[in-house]
Amino acid sequence: MSALDNIKATFQQQSKLTILIILNVSVYLTLNIATNIIRVPLTEYFAMPLSTNVFIYKFWTIFTYMFTHVDLMHVLFNLLLLYFSGRLFYSILGEKRLVYVYVMSGVLGGALLLFLGIIFPETFAGGYLLGASAAVLGIIMVMAVYTPNYPVFVFFIEMPFKYFALLVFVTSTVIDFASNTGGKIAHIGGALFGLLYGYQLKKGNDIFEFSFLSRSKSKMKIVHKNTSSAGQRADNVDESYLNKLLDKISKSGYDSLTSKEKDDLFKLSQKK
């Protein structure tokens, strides 16, 4: 087996979340080694230029920028958020959707900034966009809509996930908007995609399946409200069992679930 085959096999054994983290870390290390040791400025080939006149010659950067960091604290903060929100996301919605939301949130964040750059060319001329923040905010916002009351702990304080998402958005985007305005506009684009995807998913419309799986409008299974006492009891049992599974994940992690519990979690999440 060649070295390339070994690398491919290693990646296939990893979760999609792990691969996203590895890609971010790899690009960070590569750029820092190239810039500070080899003295080869590679960052401009990964970061997205805000000027459309420059972007058309580096169009691939709308995908690469979301894996690009040059500052240690920047990459650590983004990857911590990605890890904790990503684990909750893929435990309920699956790993393929995790990658889809990450990429699409990043792309929409970059596209929004490019669009504003066309309207206000002097405002964003000469700048670059980099970092996973828009992509990560998209993931966070999906879960804020889809599982708004899932409990999380922030500095030992328990709060519903929707408030955690609001806290992250306010501290990373709203506060001091005049600083790094371009990056924060991309945050808004990523967050908007996450909210839209989560809202549609909650209604039973899976944009991911429409785009990549069926090529036609696909509906997730929806349980319609049953006004009968039997239907209400069934709904209450399902809700109670789902909360029990989510609480177990919160305390011991997704891997603590049995195979049956993982299957039950997936089926119950499709009913929500």
Domain extent, residue 82, equals 12-213
Give the span between the Cα atoms of 139 and 144, in whole angstroms.
9
223 within domain boundaries:
no
Residues 140 and 202 grouped into a single domain: yes
CA–CA separation, 178 vs 168, rounded Å?
Answer: 17
Question: According to the model, what pLDDT value does residue 121 have?
Answer: 77
CA atoms within 13 Å, Cβ hemisphere of 146: 28
Q: Where are the beta strands (DSSP E) in 32-172?
A: 48-49, 128-129, 151-154, 157-160
What is the reported pTM?
0.76
Structurally, the chain folds into a number of domains equal to 2
**pLDDT averaged over 10-residue windows placed end to end, the chain, 272 residues:** 59 76 95 90 92 91 96 94 91 87 96 89 81 96 92 86 94 83 92 94 78 47 45 60 72 67 68 52
CATH assignment at residue 119: 1.20.1540.10
Q: What is the pLDDT of residue 83?
A: 93
Do 200 and 236 fall into the same domain? no
So what's the pLDDT on residue 156?
83
